[in-house]
């Protein structure tokens, strides 16, 4: 007995017929409109067969809407659609930029591929084409075609891959991910699109909570924040992401949400209050919900130079906690380095010189 098709093409009506019995038509012969809910349980092989029968030109497009009532003339189409061409079904993602947001050259095409490749590779997908489709005074529109293995997936799964790619592209404005756009991705619930991306000079991830019940754990979280507070561009510490070392650096290998309760954020704040001085300006400590727990995100904006160096009260020397020691660290690339004695001495000497001249900082009291 043949399996029931999840979607078929009706030649007489020129419509797609869903397993539910509903029909979907399009604006023209090579353009169909479906609801996002229609994609659940729709097999890619069935859709390919249906579109092959429907094709009257070089390709067929299936546009997706979230509107309650699907109307081929009035429904608002999502920027993610599906294209059937040359026997292949691909995901199409359209992304627009302001005129100064993206140069129109080969480097721009390479940049789109570079930012999407790690995300897509882990999802058995790849960028098959990048092209400029429109250029108007209001901005430029690029279309990215994504080839994807259909095995074990329905069309809703493929649409979700497109949504992740869109989130990553919308955050990607300057040729590379920035501290601000990475923070936006995490806060918007799109942390998974960062899997495969490299840790940078402003990003540090940890797979499990710092042990904030022990002196060493409190010192370690203070050191993690101090590294970025003493760095030029600030940074982000994320608890609930796993890193993996690769030749030349480290990448984010997976999302592993950590358990959280009403005391979690307070414990982090208390540890920093006890072991980091001075308190960094506008330090944010927040919990982003995730399946199975949450991500703890510590955002350290760039700090005023006159507040540096940030000091950690306590140090771990040869595996032992030295509570009376003071340590000073900052981020360099993907590693941390201790600030040298000459650098500390130069800072103190400069301060003493100001004191001799009576030039005190305004907020020094």
Domains of the chain, by residue range, sit at 7-176, 196-364
Of 3, 4, 29, residue with least CA distance to 15: 29
Of 226, 42, 68, 61, residue with least CA distance to 143: 61
Q: Note the pLDDT tens digit of each residue in 307-323.
A: 988 999 877 766 777 76
Rounded CA-CA distance 194/177 in Å is: 10
Q: Is 250 exposed, middle or buried (0-12, 13-18, 19+ CB in 10 A)?
A: middle
Cα-based distances in Å from 144 to 27, 199, 321: 22, 25, 53
Rounded CA-CA distance 354/189 in Å is: 48
The residue that leads in pLDDT, 314 or 144, is 144
> What stretch of H or E contains 348?
helix 341-356
Residue range 289-308: mean pLDDT, rounded = 94
Confirm if 215 and 179 have CB atoms less than 8 A apart. no
Q: Note the pLDDT tens digit of each residue in 90-131.
A: 999 998 876 554 455 677 788 788 888 888 888 899 999 988
Of 253, 254, 251, residue with least CA distance to 200: 251
The overall average pLDDT reported for the chain is 85
Confirm if 287 and 296 have CB atoms less than 8 A apart. yes
Query: Which has the minimum average pLDDT: 14-18, 99-103, 227-231, 307-311?
Result: 99-103
Q: Note the pLDDT tens digit of each residue in 76-95.
A: 889 999 999 999 999 999 98
DSSP classification of residue 362: G
Residue range 253-262: mean pLDDT, rounded = 95
Instruction: Band the pLDDT of 168: cuts 50, 70, 90.
Output: confident
Of 238, 216, 211, 199, residue with least CA distance to 327: 216
Q: Please tell me the pTM assigned to this model.
A: 0.67
Q: Which CATH number fits domain 196-364: 3.30.950, 1.10.10, 1.10.150, 4.10.280?
A: 3.30.950
Q: Note the pLDDT tens digit of each residue in 2-11.
A: 568 999 999 8
């Amino acid at each position: 007995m043949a399996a029931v098709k999840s979607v078929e093409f009706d030649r007489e009506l020129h419509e797609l017929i869903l397993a539910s019995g509903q029909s979907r038509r399009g604006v023209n012969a090579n353009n169909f409109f479906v609801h996002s809910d229609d994609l659940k349980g729709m097999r890619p092989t069935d859709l390919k067969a249906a579109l092959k029968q429907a094709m009257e030109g070089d390709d067929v497009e299936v546009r997706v809407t979230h509107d309650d009532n699907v109307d081929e003339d009035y429904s608002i189409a999502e920027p993610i659609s599906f294209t059937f061409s040359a026997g292949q079904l691909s995901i199409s993602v359209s992304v627009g930029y302001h005129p100064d947001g993206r140069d129109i050259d080969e480097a721009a095409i390479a940049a789109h591929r570079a930012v999407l490749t790690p995300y897509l590779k882990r999802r058995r997908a790849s960028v098959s084409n990048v092209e400029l489709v429109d250029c108007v005074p209001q901005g430029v529109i690029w279309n990215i075609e994504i080839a994807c293995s259909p095995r074990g997936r329905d069309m809703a799964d493929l649409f979700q891959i497109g949504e992740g790619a869109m989130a990553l592209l919308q955050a990607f404005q300057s040729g590379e991910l920035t501290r601000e756009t990475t923070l936006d991705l995490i806060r918007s619930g799109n942390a998974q699109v960062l899997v495969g991306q490299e840790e940078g000079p402003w990003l540090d991830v940890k797979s499990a909570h710092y042990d904030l019940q022990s002196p060493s754990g409190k010192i370690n979280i203070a050191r993690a924040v101090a590294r970025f507070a003493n760095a030029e561009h600030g940074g982000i510490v994320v608890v609930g992401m796993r890193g993996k070392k690769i030749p030349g650096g480290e990448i984010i290998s997976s999302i592993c949400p950590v358990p959280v309760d009403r005391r979690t954020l307070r414990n982090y704040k208390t540890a920093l209050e006890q072991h980091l001085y001075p308190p960094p300006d506008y330090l944010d400590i927040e919990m982003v919900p995730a399946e199975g727990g949450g991500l703890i995100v510590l955002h350290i904006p760039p700090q005023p130079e006159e507040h540096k160096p940030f000091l950690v009260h306590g140090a771990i020397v040869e595996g032992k906690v030295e509570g009376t020691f003071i340590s000073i660290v900052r981020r360099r690339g993907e590693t941390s380095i201790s600030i040298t004695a000459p650098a500390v001495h130069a800072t103190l000497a400069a301060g003493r010189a100001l004191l001799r001249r009576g030039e005190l900082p305004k907020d020094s009291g």
